Amino acid sequence: MALKTYHSFRELQADVQSGVVSCEEIVGHYLRNIEEKNKTLNAFVEVYTDFALAQAQALDARIKAGEPVGRLAGMVIGIKDVLCLKDFGLQGSSKILDKFKSQFTGTAIQRLLDEDAIIIGRQNCDEFAMGSSNENSAFGVVRNAADTTRVPGGSSGGSAVAVQADMCWASIGSDTGGSVRQPASFCGLVGLKPTYSRISRYGLIAYASSFDCIGPITRNVPDAALLLEVMAGADDFDSTVSQKPVPAYSQQLAWNGAGKKIAYLRESLESEAIAPAIRESMKKRVEFLKQQGYTVEGVEFPLLEYILPTYYILTMAEASANLSRYDGVRYGHRTENAPDLETMYKRTRAEGFGREVKRRIMLGTFVLSASYYDAYFTKAQRVRRLIKEKTESLLTEYDFLLMPTSPTTAFKIGENSAESDPLAMFLADIYSVQANVAGVTGISIPAGNDEQNLPIGLQIMANAFRETDLLAFSNYLEQQTF
């Protein structure tokens, strides 16, 4: 029997708790959709059929027995292939982690399980989260369900498409420089990058540790708020995580706009490099907010042109160090019949890593090498500091900064590929990396469609640990019709 369409998790949860619908039926619905659509879309790389059904049955039994259940009972979630779930495969969508199994469950995922979420499978992504189109995956490209000739965005492309195509209720991705927000925008969804250190990274494959954040991809803002609330907070297993108490984000979504000041990046309305439909969508939102009586001002970000090089120099440097652990000794793939240890390392890494990952390891190693360290790495660290300070002061003067999530909507598969023009791919991240360079929070919410009916994303940034306000404002905007 087909599952009725639920518009909010609250509605679904009420039916689950009163026994109108069982968790087994819900899981069955998603398994059927996966069966039907995944061959084309390639969003899941592994489906945990037995595990998901067992979780559902156990939960149904508890509900029947009148036992209390967690805040996520009835929510079926997919996880990006960079998040550990004990005894299940984990590969960062790379050949080098072939057949690797997680030795433990990461904190964020454990917290979802503790609240009775059902984990249905792991999702395709760019290899080690490096990319913006999901074309750099050992499992092949993911297709955007709005137009299967187009990319879903990346690197959490499979996670976005799985929600877009109703193969799970929500997904958990990771965002190092837009990897949650940009695919969410390409697929018409909400993608939240929390403040750096808000969610523990214990059990997240490290890409660039001073940038990496875990974040939810959902259909709406209240779900993002609820998932953040469940996953965030102090954790003994991650010394970088913030000790700040976690607000009840999902209970504080009512918007009180009194006295709020909103900035928008002036070039969002003017730059020829931004698709006309995206500029138009921005304009409508800016005008709407002005009409509502808010102080809304266009601003320039003088360091904008330095953000991308800073991001790529630093993330590649960190990646080259983080990825040195894949040596064929401890994890996954190992080359066969190497005559000595050094050849074994070299061949394992040459065979196991894809082209984009190799490019980044080489560039990262270069900027960290003794002769170039100061010229690139140290300089980029200094510039990062300036970008962080400028961003924070802008977000102190204004409550929110609006800009597009991406300068274009979903592009064609192959059009921007890292193979043909890696720089073009990097340039598309121009607006999404600032929040990570500065460590603040940002969200992408749906903002209409372009002339080809492809989703547009509006990005809203707020200062560190201002998620409560950010989510309430996003929730308010999400409810308007433009």
Contact call for residue 155 and ligand ASN (CB under 6 A)? yes
Residue number with CB closer to ligand ASN (206 or 228): 206
- Distance of alpha carbon 157 from alpha carbon 135, whole angstroms: 9
- Distance of alpha carbon 105 from alpha carbon 86, whole angstroms: 5
Which letter does DSSP use for residue 87 in this model?
T
Which of 175, 229, 399, 467 binds ligand ASN (CB under 6 A)? It is 175
Contact call for residue 177 and ligand ASN (CB under 6 A)? yes
Whether the CB-CB separation of 333 and 96 falls below 8 Å is answered with yes
Contact call for residue 220 and ligand ASN (CB under 6 A)? no
CB of 94 to ligand ASN, least distance (A): 14
Residue number with CB closer to ligand ASN (397 or 421): 421
Q: Is the dihedral of CA 132, 319, 382, 192 positive or negative?
A: positive
Contact call for residue 444 and ligand ASN (CB under 6 A)? no
Contact call for residue 179 and ligand ASN (CB under 6 A)? yes
Residue number with CB closer to ligand ASN (159 or 176): 176
Contact call for residue 315 and ligand ASN (CB under 6 A)? yes
Contact call for residue 322 and ligand ASN (CB under 6 A)? no
Q: Convert residues 409-438 into a mask of x (bound to ligand ASN by CB under 6 A) and - (unbound).
A: --------------------x---------
- Sequence-distant (6+) residues with CB within 8 A of 269 are 279, 282, 283, 286, 298
Contact call for residue 107 and ligand ASN (CB under 6 A)? no
111-119, 124-132, 278-286, 384-392 -> range binding ligand ASN (CB under 6 A): 124-132
Instruction: For Cα atoms 41, 224, 81, give the angle at the middle one, nearest 5 degrees.
Output: 40
Tokens describing residue 59: 């939960």
Residue 448: strand, helix, or coil: strand
Q: Convert residues 127-146 into a mask of x (bound to ligand ASN by CB under 6 A) and - (unbound).
A: --xxxx--------------
Chain position whose Cβ is nearest to ligand ASN: 179
CB atoms within 10 A of CB 253: 18
Residue with tokens 């993911």: 142
67-75, 141-149, 171-179, 383-391 -> range binding ligand ASN (CB under 6 A): 171-179
Strands 213-218 and 190-193, how do they pair?
Answer: antiparallel
- Sequence-distant (6+) residues with CB within 8 A of 131 are 137, 154, 155, 356, 418, 425
CB of 31 to ligand ASN, least distance (A): 29
CB of 429 to ligand ASN, least distance (A): 5
Q: How many CA atoms lie within 13 A of 204 on its CB side?
A: 29
Positions marked active-site = 80, 155, 179
**Residue 209 phi, psi dihedral angles, 5° rounding:** -65, -20
Residue number with CB closer to ligand ASN (135 or 429): 429
**Residues making contact with ligand ASN (CB under 6 A):** 129-132, 155, 175-179, 315, 429
